[in-house]
Structure 1
Amino acid sequence: MYSITSESASHPDILALIAALDRYQTELYPAESNHLIDLTQLATGSLLMMVIRDYQLNAVGCGAIVLNGDGSGEMKRVYIDPTHRGQKLGEKLLAALEDEALSRHCHTLRLETGIKQHAAIQLYERCGYHVRTAFSPYAEDPLSLFMEKALVADVRLAVL
């Protein structure tokens, strides 16, 4: 059994998961194509951070959304420990993050992922994300894939 809860980006369990993600991405991409962000430096109100824990309360996955204040957000730092993959935890994590973002009046989510992360790309596609052009602050990068998902069918409904 797994649980998904909100957590501080500075929690030691989150920092350990993000360090594992950074090691993985550093092996795949050169520094200029690694768009790593230190979530602990963001204002608390602009960050949604969630952790997945197993029945022994070990942190096995995490993900975040940076809220931009304009009704959009950026999915960041999604990672599932390799020993816990294949159990639909990614789908559950994204759904929990999306629900929380929607409750904070976020109507559109965007993300950047690397082209070599095939499982991540498939996860995002299964969850309704579509390929788009680069968005600020990114520039087009042949090693990056940019995606987006509308959380509401009509953006005007998100402000009600």
Structure 2
Amino acid sequence: MSNTELKSRTRGDYVYFLTYRTRWSDNDTYSHMNNAIYYHLFDSIINTYLIEQCGLQPGPSKSASIGLVVSSFCRFFAPLSFPQPVDLGLRVSHLGKSSVAYEVGVFGDGSNEPAAVGGYTHVFVDSETRKSRDMEVKTRAGLERLLPARAESAKL
């Protein structure tokens, strides 16, 4: 996906939202949110959604399958910094049999244009053997609600 396409996203392109209150420690020496923090935010919204909407139960041996991150990305468009609250929007850009690509829009408080867009791809594997497996029915049903085609009717 091109930077232009990602930068043109708005809040309306995302289905599920969380608000994050930035912390002083999120800032780097340049007084803006450190790049690594964005990946913490991606993890937070994706795993919150998986727990709330897909039946994920964190912890050892809680599930027959787990999602492993196989790729990630982030494009930065505008700086954010403490004490600014940010809104995180989540959507699914691709849903396969055993994989899902998530996209997260990071919006400054009140902005309709993203300060950053990023995400990652999970491949679901057997929790013991680590071999690829089809995602569980409840997981798939929850993730289908994040597909853009369903965004209009499924705002969460």
* TM-score, normalisation: structure 1: 0.31
Relative contact order (alpha carbons < 8 A, sep ≥ 6): 1 or 2 greater? 2
Which is greater in Rg? 2
Report the TM-score when normalising by structure 2.
0.31
